Amino acid sequence: MAQVGWPQSCHLRSDRRLMVMKGSMSPLHRFLRTRATGQGLVGQPRATRWLWLGTMLVVFMVTTEHLRARRVFEVAKPTENIRSSPEGLRLGVLEKGTQIEEVGRDGQWVKFELTGWIWGPSLEGFEDITSKRSSSVPTDEEDDEGPVDRSEREPRQALNVHLDDVRDLINEDFGRFYGLSLDAELGRVTLRFRVPDVGEPALLRRQMRAQARVDVLLAADVSYEELRVETNRPDGTGAVGQYVAIADTATIRRIAAKDLDAWIESVQRSDDGGQTWK
């Protein structure tokens, strides 16, 4: 049979079998060769067998690429922005420990899928259908204690509404934002941020001012009695949480960040992570 320009490593078999590579074959090659020449394809035209082989190769390549792409990652930074596209509009944030599943990549940008929830009363035109339904049917709870305000959000949800504002405030005026959390049982909000080398007087002033300004942001929506501020050391070293200041909301609002000496006398402070207090 005449040569038709195939590579030297390949032979076209005259018995109409599938073209195979010389030497040992991989399991995938053996599988495809067996299927292409086995039951169901015996006696079929060569074009049909090649079409089947090509289809199997495409399926294999697409499946391999799909499995490679869908990796699971975990956010390592305290927070990270979610954007509509690489360098695009910021849509929200993910907190440390959040896991995402990669579905695509553009350079160092990872594309992922997300299913999320948003507080309905924050949306223009939102109507609480469930509240309307429940309000038309009296319940024992309503009879005994009056109507239940179902539009009141959970404390942690209310805190998340202000997360972006608090982050921007800290990053612009006080240092590097590390976190914001609420312990509903203790009635305490904890704010964490890192400061550069500013010295102790300036650090205390930042803690006082940060308490006052964050309290203004949260007071209308979040129920709490204390605001705890955690930072690193005033020389810029150490872990966030080394310097701690705790003040109740009455003290924060009375002093209003206007008198550092009065604030120092009124709050609980620690410079060793809470092991001892001043």
pLDDT digits (tens, 9 = 90+) for 96-154: 888 888 888 899 999 988 777 777 777 777 776 655 544 444 444 444 444 444 444 45
The reported pLDDT for the residue numbered 34 is 54
Q: Could you tell me which residue, 12 or 229, shows the higher pLDDT? A: 229
Beta strand 243-248 pairing with 268-270: antiparallel
Are the beta carbons of 265 and 251 closer than 8 angstroms? Answer: no
- How high is the pLDDT of residue 35? 53
Of the pLDDT bands very low, low, confident and very high (cuts 50, 70, 90), residue 226 is very high
- The half-sphere exposure of 179 on its side-chain side, counting CA atoms within 13 A, is 14
- Nearest partner of 165 among 182, 152, 180, 175, judged by Cα: 180
What is the distance between the alpha carbons of residues 96 and 109, in angstroms, rounded to a whole number? 18
Give the pLDDT confidence score for residue 68 in this predicted structure. Answer: 56
User: Vertex 27, ends 20 and 65: CA angle to 5°?
Assistant: 100
Instruction: Please name the residues in contact with 256: beta carbons below 8 A apart, sequence gap of 6 or more.
Output: 212
Structural contact between residues 3 and 12, judged by C-beta atoms closer than 8 angstroms: no
First to last CA, the chain: 97
pLDDT, position 92:
78
Q: Compare 36 and 118 and report the one with higher pLDDT.
A: 118
Q: Return the higher-pLDDT residue of 85 and 234.
A: 234
pLDDT at 4: 44
pTM equals 0.49
Q: Find the range with the poorest average confidence among 40-44, 159-163, 235-239, 262-266.
A: 40-44
pLDDT at 51: 77
Query: What is the rounded distance in angstroms from the CA atom of residue 53 to the CA atom of residue 270?
Result: 71
3-state secondary structure of 185: coil
Average pLDDT over the chain, rounded to whole? 77
State pLDDT tens for residues 60-90: 666 655 555 568 888 888 888 888 888 888 7
In this predicted structure, what is the pLDDT of residue 118?
74
Section 223-227 average pLDDT: 94
Q: What is the distance between the alpha carbons of residues 263 and 160, in angstroms, rounded to a whole number?
A: 28
Residue 16: is its pLDDT beyond 90? no
Pairwise CA distance, residues 77 & 195, whole Å:
17
Q: How far apart are CA 47 and CA 57, in angstroms?
A: 15
For 161-177, the pLDDT digits (tens) are 888 999 999 999 999 99
Buried b / exposed e along 74-109 (16+ C-beta atoms within 10 A): eeeebbeeeeeeeeeeeeebbeeeeebeeeeeeeee
| pLDDT at residue 129 in the model | 65
Tokens of 8: 């030297």
pLDDT at 8 over 80: no
| Cα(231)–Cα(244) distance, integer angstroms | 7
120 C-beta neighbours (distance < 10 Å), count = 13
